Amino acid sequence: MCLIKVLYILEKLISIGKVNLLRSVVGVVLCGGRGEALKPLSNYLQKAMLPVGSLEKPVLEYIIRHMVYHGITNIALLVSYKARQIINYFDDGSRFGAKIQYIHDSKELYGTGGALVNALQFINASTWVVQFGDILANVNLRDMMKYHIEQASDLTIAVATGYRVPVGVAEVEDEVVTGLLEKPRLEGSVVVGIFALKPAILEHFREAKGKLDFVGQVIPKIIDEGAEVHAYFFDGTWFDVGSSEEYEKLKPEDIDKLYSHLKLE
């Protein structure tokens, strides 16, 4: 067999492997929150439907299109508050190159962790890529999935290598202000709000009741139980639009630049 034919077959096998990998992945977006920190805007709009960028498209549209861009076309939207706004806009997802299913949060088990546990009975996939519905970030999701699988990780957390404080910070010595820093960047590992996980880590919480927080309760518990949890370091740009203050500061050109690869019109 000639070398060219061997290389061709290898390329085909790699391509098939990538397709199979993506078939076993589902994108999961938490978009059922009431958006208390976004009132009064959230009295009228589900926070994931707030318009951003110069095209004034919903936050959730950017999240979905970014997932599709990275090959994640099966997407589950975990909905509750003002769910009909989301369903009416995105429908079956075909307009965005996706296949979307809607999972309504449970009244018995709620919160970010509760919504994910509730989704176990509706999603059949070996890997979930989970994103909070008020986070906009240009994380390379395809590379993150690859890293997650290579590390044989139960949970992989997208971690920013720093955070730009949205307000000015005073430098103080002995109660005397010696300087002011305008929106300084603080070094440290910051959880972005994007995760890759094996859904099996959620099984332990099936019998839970009431509010269950994913970051505050689920993750510490699985770490204590010895789960393989890794950090995927991310040095790009991201925005948290979960409060009125942050949303109002968001510049359309920042979102246009963040998602320029999507070539939206």
**116 in any annotated domain:** yes
Q: What is the pLDDT of residue 263?
A: 83
pLDDT > 70 in the chain, percent: 82
What is the model's pLDDT at position 264?
84
Q: Which residues pair with 130 in a beta bridge?
A: 28, 195
Does residue 218 lie within any of the structural domains? Answer: yes
* 152 found inside a domain: yes
Query: Does residue 39 belong to any structural domain of this protein?
Result: yes
Range of the domain at 76: 13-157+191-262
- pLDDT 10s digits, 105-143: 999 999 999 999 999 999 999 999 999 999 999 999 999
Q: Give the three-state DSSP class for 82.
A: coil
pLDDT of 248 strictly over 60: yes
178 within a domain of the structure (yes/no)? no
Identify whether 100 is part of a domain: yes
What CATH number did the domain enclosing 33 receive? 3.90.550.10
- Please tell me the pTM assigned to this model: 0.85
Does residue 178 surpass a pLDDT of 50? yes
Which of 66-70, 161-165, 182-186, 232-236 shows the highest mean pLDDT? 66-70
pLDDT of residue 189: 74
Q: Is residue 244 a part of any domain in this protein?
A: yes
Domain contains 106: yes
In the predicted model, what is the mean pLDDT of residues 78-95? 97
Number of domains into which the chain is organized = 1
Among candidates 14, 22, 12, 49, which has minimal Cα distance to 34? 49
CA dist list (Å): 216 to 20, 32, 46, 189: 33, 18, 23, 16
